[in-house]
Amino acid sequence: MKLETTYKSNNYPIIIEHHALDQLHDYIKNYQDIVLVIDQKVENEWSHITDFIASEYEAHKLIVPSGETTKTLSFYEETIESLLSKQLTRNTCLIAIGGGATGDFTGFLASTLLRGVDFIQIPTTILAHDSSVGGKVGINSKHGKNLIGAFYRPKAVIYDLNFLSTLPYSEILSGYAEVYKHALLNDIESVNHIEAQYSDEQALKSLDEIEYYLYKGVQTKLNIIVADEKESNVRKFLNLGHTFGHAVEYKFKIPHGHAVMIGIVFQFIVTNIMLNKSFNIAHYVNYLRGLNYPLDIVNDLEFESLYKLMLNDKKNDEQGVQMVLLKDIGDPIVRHVDYKTLSKAFAEFKSYFNK
């Protein structure tokens, strides 16, 4: 399946299928220099593929530490200096082969190397259906995640779903949170459909039909980001589940999507209180239990410290904590939520997990 962004200019294709790599040639044949930036764990599993690409295109191979450890200033410095020592021309393409961390890092490298060279995303995780699209690239600062970065679009996203076969279940769960979030932003049919498809751990592990759901997820994200690339307006909707989720992720250092799923449940409780709705919270908690999300950490959550972290969220404005709520499935809005409401919602939230 293939999608294309619909900006006024500088559009890029997003190819989502098994064996999508067969099409890589069309996008890289004209570059003088090619650098593959590959996540270490991906390299461990897939070196036969990366070696093939490297020899076919006389590309440099750069293996980077697995996951988040790549997104640091010191590693960025080391890497960009080493790339500059290779006397690359401006007709260079960097190709990220890995999850969101490798993609964010490589995109940032590309945006700054020689004032900007091209880059291509080859996502290898489920989560990266989200991170590889939209042009946000960056690394972490000691002041917080993703604070050093740019908006910089890739030339193509080539999402070869064969890579997903080596993902551990924990990473499937992490990525699935964003797929599910996109369904919630879409409509009730999408949510019913995906819950029926992935009704328990065994079904989700199989990844049957994942191509369709990733396609739908990317399409939902595209509709939003093309309308608002720099997050002044509707792009905020993509933060559904993330205000509380980021606080939990930061505090407990758990995978992003595990925290986002917890944040999604919290958001439903706040929605019920603020918008006078009656979303069935037990349904969502049971759904997460059925998929085997690690939920024990909920017992260790404590309101005051999470509240402080929510206040620090860079997405807030001077009026305090902002959250995305759902007037209905598929109908998000952004609201300020005060201390009292958050604290009440938190007490209710805890009660669902004590059962």
- Annotated catalytic residues are 115, 136, 178, 221, 231, 235, 239, 242, 246, 256
By beta-carbon proximity to ligand NAD, the closer residue of 195 and 229 is 229
Give the separation between CA 345 and CA 273, rounded to whole angstroms.
7
- Residue 347 CB, shortest distance to ligand NAD, in Å, is 30
By beta-carbon proximity to ligand NAD, the closer residue of 45 and 348 is 45
- Residue 124 CB, shortest distance to ligand NAD, in Å, is 4
- Residue 103 CB, shortest distance to ligand NAD, in Å, is 7
Give the separation between CA 232 and CA 230, rounded to whole angstroms.
6
Question: Of 33, 155, 181, 170, whose CA–CA distance to 99 is shortest?
Answer: 170
3-state secondary structure 57-113: HCCEEEEECCHHHHCCHHHHHHHHHHHHCCCCCCCEEEEEEECHHHHHHHHHHHHHH
The answer to whether 185 and 329 are in contact (CB under 8 A) is: no
By beta-carbon proximity to ligand NAD, the closer residue of 50 and 267 is 50
Site for ligand NAD, rule CB under 6 A: 39, 41-42, 45, 66-68, 71, 98-102, 104, 124-125, 127-128, 130-131, 134, 136, 145-146, 163, 166-167, 171, 174, 256
- Residue 100 CB, shortest distance to ligand NAD, in Å, is 2
- Residue 224 CB, shortest distance to ligand NAD, in Å, is 12
Half-sphere exposure of 23 (CA within 13 A, CB side): 18
Bridge partner residues of 151 (DSSP): 136
- Residue 97 CB, shortest distance to ligand NAD, in Å, is 9
By beta-carbon proximity to ligand NAD, the closer residue of 50 and 174 is 174
Using CB atoms, what's the residue nearest to ligand NAD?
100
- H-type alpha helices, 198-326: 201-206, 210-227, 242-252, 256-274, 281-291, 303-312
Report residue 5 CA to chain centroid gap.
18
Question: Which residues are CB-contacts of 32 (< 8 A; sequence separation ≥ 6)?
Answer: 89, 91, 92
By beta-carbon proximity to ligand NAD, the closer residue of 175 and 332 is 175
Question: Which residues are CB-contacts of 265 (< 8 A; sequence separation ≥ 6)?
Answer: 281, 284, 285, 288, 349, 352
